[in-house]
């Protein structure tokens, strides 16, 4: 057992957040929905949509029976609405392949539409208590600092990083599953990207980055999250018009959402290509049916 385990697990037992997709009462479907919603989205923004989603579609079968356009509409302003289409496709596959029950095996989860290595590992670990490496941004930052002695990890996980995470994984399923969520929580609450609270960290006395004097990141430039004037903002404006409408939207209403014609047309075409918007007539658009 690593000497990091006990202090992190003890800290988590005392400081863990009470989130609806955690704990014995959370269904595997609740965990699955949360993992789709939490991709590139902070917890605070996911709480209300997650509750609304589970209230409307409490099982994968309920979602699979709904039109894809309703999934996109319910996704609201969470951003990256293709996740709604992927979650709908995954729910449909769960019904068709697994009798409506979220599978507990990593391979079966990985085979679902829209599910990659991280999401499959997270669902298997958090919903079923299985032993898997779960490497999200928070976990990678904790390991980079505590063990690697650097402020931030590389842009994408490396083989060496995954090997380290595997070495740090406790040997039994239950402890490994708790370790996965505990390191994630530590990165989210204490070992944050911008203002790490090293004085509150349970492994500060073991942290290689802190011992080195917290050297500043000197790797490749880190990408920011630009928004104003971007295609993401334009696409979001168009999607908002369609979500708020009860039926098809005339092209003139889409024009009003974003005045710059070249960018608007490019974004509208990309939304159609992504399956998020459907053409219904020569000059009207709607959410997919």
| Residue tagged active-site, from 14, 35, 151, 265 | 35
Alpha-carbon distances of 160 from 58, 137, 143, 166, 179, rounded to whole Å: 40, 16, 12, 10, 19
Q: How far is CA 32 from the centre of its chain?
A: 10
Pairwise CA distance, residues 202 & 191, whole Å: 10
Q: Which residues contact 225 (CB under 8 A, 6 or more apart)?
A: none
Tell which phi-psi region holds residue 177, choosing left (phi > 0), alpha (psi between -120 and 50) or beta.
Answer: alpha
Instruction: Report the C-alpha gap between 270 and 277 in whole angstroms.
Output: 9
DSSP 144: I
Helices (H), the chain: 5-15, 28-37, 43-56, 60-64, 68-75, 82-98, 106-110, 117-128, 137-143, 159-168, 173-189, 208-211, 231-244, 251-257, 261-273
Based on the residue annotation, tell me whether 197 is a catalytic residue of this protein. Answer: no
Query: Annotated active-site positions, please?
Result: 35
């Amino acid at each position: 057992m690593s000497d990091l385990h006990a202090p992190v697990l003890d800290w988590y037992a005392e400081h863990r957040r009470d989130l609806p997709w955690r704990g014995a009462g959370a269904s595997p479907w609740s965990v699955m929905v949360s993992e789709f919603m939490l991709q590139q989205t902070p917890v605070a923004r996911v709480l209300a949509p997650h509750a609304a989603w589970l209230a409307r579609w409490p099982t994968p079968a309920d979602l699979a029976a709904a039109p894809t356009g309703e999934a996109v509409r319910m996704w609201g302003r969470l951003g990256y609405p293709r996740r709604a289409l992927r979650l709908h496709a995954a729910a449909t596959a769960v019904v068709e392949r697994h009798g409506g029950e979220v599978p507990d095996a990593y391979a079966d989860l990985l085979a679902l539409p829209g599910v990659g290595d991280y999401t499959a590992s997270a669902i298997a670990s958090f919903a079923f208590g299985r032993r898997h490496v779960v490497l999200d941004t928070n976990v990678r930052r904790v390991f980079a600092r505590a063990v690697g002695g650097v402020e931030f990890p590389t842009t994408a996980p490396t083989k060496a990083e995954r090997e380290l995470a595997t070495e740090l994984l406790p040997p039994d399923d239950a402890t490994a599953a708790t370790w996965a969520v505990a390191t994630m929580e530590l990165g989210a609450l204490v070992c944050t990207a911008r203002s790490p609270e090293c004085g509150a960290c349970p492994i500060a006395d073991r942290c290689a980055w802190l011992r080195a004097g917290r050297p500043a990141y000197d790797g490749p430039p880190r990408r920011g999250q630009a928004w104003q004037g971007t295609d993401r903002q334009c696409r979001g404006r168009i999607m908002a018009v369609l979500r708020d409408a009860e039926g098809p939207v005339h092209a003139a209403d889409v024009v009003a959402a974003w005045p710059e014609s070249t960018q608007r047309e490019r974004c509208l075409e990309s939304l159609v290509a992504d399956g998020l918007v459907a053409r219904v007539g020569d000059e009207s658009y709607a959410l997919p049916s």
